[in-house]
Structure 1
Amino acid sequence: MKNAITNKQRRLMLHGCLATTLATYLSASFSQSTWPQKPIRFIVPFVPGGTSDIVARTVGQELSRQLPYPVILENKAGGGGVPAMQEVAKSAPDGYTMILGHVGSMAVNPYIFSNTGYDVNKDFAPVTLLATVPSLFVVNPELPVENLKELIAYAKNNPGKLNYGSAGNASAGHLAMEYLKLTTGMDITHIPYKGTGPALTDLLAGRIQVFSAGTPALLQYIRSGKLRAIAVGTPQRIASLPNVPTVAESGYKGFESVQWYGILVPAKTPKNIIKRIQEESYKALRTPAVAERFASEDAVIGGGPPAEFAALIAQQQRIWKEVVLKANIRAD
C-alpha cells in the first residue's frame, strides 16, 4: 500500500525522536550544570538607601566577585513591592532573575491585597535567608522623650500630635510600628513614604517624630546624635546599642520584631540551580567583608537551605496574619 510505513522507516523515525529527546535533555542538563552563562538580575522591591537595598547590595557585590558573571541589582519600588513580585513571578525559571523577599512581600501582602496576580507560596521558590536584622525604634531628638515608656506617656498626653513615618505600606518599618502600637495602645498617625530615604529626610528635619527600621539604615544617625534610639525589637539588647532597652524590658513581655531578607526565584527553577545560588550565597555571607559589615550592624547572617527559609516564611505568615487583622493594616 502507498501509505504504508516500512519497518525501516519506523526505525529511522524512532531513532530521530530518541536523538531529539536526548539532545534536548543534554542541552538542558548542560545549561543547568554550567549556570551562570550570563548576568543575573537581582530585583529589590524598594528604593535605594533602605535596609533591603543595603542587604541585597552587600551580598550582590560579593556574588559578583565569586561568579563568572555579575549580579546586577535593580531597584523597582512602588505598590508595596507587588509590581516587582509580579515581574519576577512571570520571569523565566532559569536562575537569571531573583528577588529579595522580606516580611512585607512574603508575610503581609497576601493578607492586605485582594488580588496581586500571583501566589507567594506557589509562584516563587525560596532559595535562602540572607540576614535577620533587629528592628530599631527611634525618635527625632527634639522630641522630649528618652525611652519607650516616656514616648507612650507623651503620646497619651498629646493625642493626635505625633506622626510616624515608614518606607510605605507593608514595609518592615510600618509593620514593626503597627505591632508596637497594637502592643502598647499608643495612638500615633502613620505617614507612608516612597522609601526609607524620603522618610528619614523628614524624620531628621522633625516633620515626623517617630520611625522604625533595621540597624543598617539607622545606626549612623544614632551614633552621630541625629536620632535617638528608644527601644530595640529583639528579645535581648544588641551589641551596637548596649544601653538601649528592648521593648520587652520596657514592660511588654514577649514582644519581638525583627526584619528578615532572603532570595526567591520563580517557581519551577531547576533545583540544582537553586542549590547553586544557595551555596554561593552561603559562601558570600561568610566572606570577611560581608560578615564584618553585618556583624557591625547586629545582623544575623543566614545562608541555610531552601527548606529552612520556607519554614521561616510559613511561621512569619502565621504571626503577621494576626497582626494585619488586629491592626487593620491596608494597602495604599
Structure 2
Amino acid sequence: MIRRSLLGVAALSLAATMVSPVQAQAWRTFPEKPIKLIIAFPAGGPTDITMRALADNASKVLGRPVIVENKPGAGGTLPAQALQGAPADGYTVAQIPLGVFRLGYTTKINWDPVQDISYVINVTGYAFGIVVPTDSPIKNWADFVAYAKDNPGKLTYGSTGTLTSPHLTTELVAQQAGITLQHVPYKGNADLMQAIMGGHVMAAADSTGWAPFVEAGKLRVLNTWGAKRLGKFPDAPTLKELGYDVVQNSPFGIGAPKGTPPEVVQRLHDAFKKAMEDPSYLLALAKYDMLPDYKSSADYTQFAKDTVSREKVLIEKLGLAKAP
C-alpha cells in the first residue's frame, strides 16, 4: 500500500512537470486573441474616452486588440463583479473604480474586493467638482449653502450613481456644512449633463465631463476637489480653500480575475504601463484635467487593502453601512 502511494505521488509530480512547460509556453505567447476591457461608465464620458485611448495604445504593445465594453450602473461596480465569473486567463480585465472598495460595507456580496481580484495597474484618477447652470441664482458656494439651509432637502444634485465618489464626497461636505441635499443618481456623465442642462437637477457633482459645458458658458464651477485648483478653471476654489478638510481624486486602475497567472498579470502590467506613456493618452487625460497615477501591481494591491479600511470609516460616518 505504501509503495502504491509513493508511486501515485511520483506520477502526479511527473504530470505536473509535464504540464508546466506547456503552461509556460502559453504564458510566453500571451495574448493569442483579443482582450476585453470592461469599464464602469457609459460611452462618451471622461472614463470611456480616456480608457479607449489607453486600450488603443495597449493594443499596439500587445499585438492584439483590446476591446472596450461599457458596463455602467451599480455605482461603477459591475466590471469588478463581472471578473468573478470570468476565466483567470488574462483575456478579461476590468476598470476598478473606488466604489468597489465600499461594496462589502454597503451591500451583501459573496466575494472579497481585495482577495478576489488580481490587481494589475493603477492608471489615473478623476478631477471632480460641483457645477450649476450659469443662469442659476446660485453664483458661488456660499449661495449654495445658504439656499440649502433656507430650503432643507430641496436643493437637488445629480451624480454618476449612488455610493460613487461624487455622491459620497458631496454628502460628506454637506454633513460638514450642516445642510441636507436631495441626491439624484444617474448612470454616467452623459445622462447627468442632459439632466442638469434640462433643468431636472439644480447642481451636478461629477468628474470634469462638465468641462466642455463650462467652457461653452452653460455651466459654472462652484468648487473643485483636488489638492490645488484646476489649471483650466483657476477661479474655482478647492474644498480645502472653502474650509473642508477633503481632497478627492478617486484613483482607478485595471484588475483581472483572481488566480490569473503572475506572468500574465506582468505582461498586462507592462503593456498598460507603456500605453500610459503614449502622448495620445496624456492628451486624452489633459482634456479632463486628469493626470497619470501609476501604481505597480504590488502597490495597487496594497492600495486596495488600505482603501478598503479607509472607506469603512467614510461609510460609517455617513450612516450608509448595510444592516448586519
Q: TM-score, length-normalised on structure 2? A: 0.90
1:114-173 CA-partner distances (Å, limit 9, x unpaired): x22211111101111110222111112232122222211121122232101122212232
Contact 1:155 1:187 in 2 (8 A): yes
Alignment of structure 1 residues 90-239 onto 2, 5 Å: 90-105=85-100, 107-113=101-107, 115-215=108-208, 217-239=209-231
SS in 1 for 2:251: strand
5 Å-filtered alignment, 1:1-332, equals: 20-105=15-100, 107-113=101-107, 115-215=108-208, 217-252=209-244, 254-329=245-320
Contact kept? 1:39, 1:71, Cα under 8 Å: yes
Decide whether aligned partners of structure 1 residues 84 and 131 sit closer, same or farther in structure 2, where only a CA change above 3 A counts.
closer
Does the Cα contact within 8 Å between 1:278 and 1:304 map onto a contact in 2? Answer: no
Shift of 1:90: 2.0
Name the SS of the counterpart of 1:104 in structure 2. Answer: helix
Gaps of 5+ in 1: none
- Kindly provide the amino acid, as one letter, of the partner of residue 103 in structure 2: N
Q: Which moved more, 1:301-310 or 1:13-22?
A: 13-22
Q: Distance in 2 between matches of 1:293 and 1:272?
A: 29
Cα offset, 1:86, TM superposition: 2.8
Q: How many residues align?
A: 317
The alignment's C-alpha RMSD in Å is 2.3
- 2-side partners of 1:246 and 1:255: how far apart? 9
Q: Residues 140 and 167 from structure 1, CA distance in 2 versus in 1: closer, same or farther, beyond 3 angstroms?
A: same
Larger Rg: 1
Distance in 2 (alpha carbons) for counterparts of 1:204 and 1:180:
24
Q: For residues 16-74 of structure 1, what are the alpha-carbon distances to aligned partners after superposition, in whole Å with 9 as ceiling and x for unaligned?
A: 87764444111100111211111001111332233332332221121122221101111
Structure 2 SS opposite 1:302: strand
Identity of aligned residues (%): 27
Distance apart, 1:230 and its partner CA: 0.7
Distance 1:240 1:272, change over 3 A: same
1:80: how far off? 3.3
SS of residue paired to 1:176? helix
Question: What 5-or-longer segments of structure 2 have no aligned partner?
Answer: none
Measured after TM superposition, the shift of residue 100 of structure 1 is 0.2
Distance change (3 Å), C-alpha of 1:18 and 1:300: same
SS of aligned partner of 1:259: coil
Q: 2:236 is paired with a residue of what secondary structure?
A: coil
| Contact kept in structure 2, 1:152 and 1:186, CA below 8 Å | yes
User: Cα deviations across residues 163-188 of structure 1 (Å, max 9, x unaligned)?
Assistant: 01122212232122222222222211
> CA 1:33–1:190 in structure 2 vs 1: closer, same or farther (change >3 Å)?
same
Rounded to whole Å, the distance in 2 between the matches of 1:18 and 1:305 is 34
Contact conserved, 2:53 with 2:281, CA < 8 A, in 1?
yes
SS in 1 for 2:42: coil
The structure-2 alpha-carbon separation of the partners of 1:57 and 1:182, relative to structure 1 and needing over 3 Å to count, comes to farther
Give, as a single letter, the amino acid of the residue that structure 2 aligns with 1:219. A
Q: What is the CA distance between 1:102 and its match in structure 2?
A: 0.9
Alpha-carbon shift at residue 93 of structure 1 (Å): 1.1
Higher mean C-alpha deviation, range 240-249 or range 178-187: 178-187
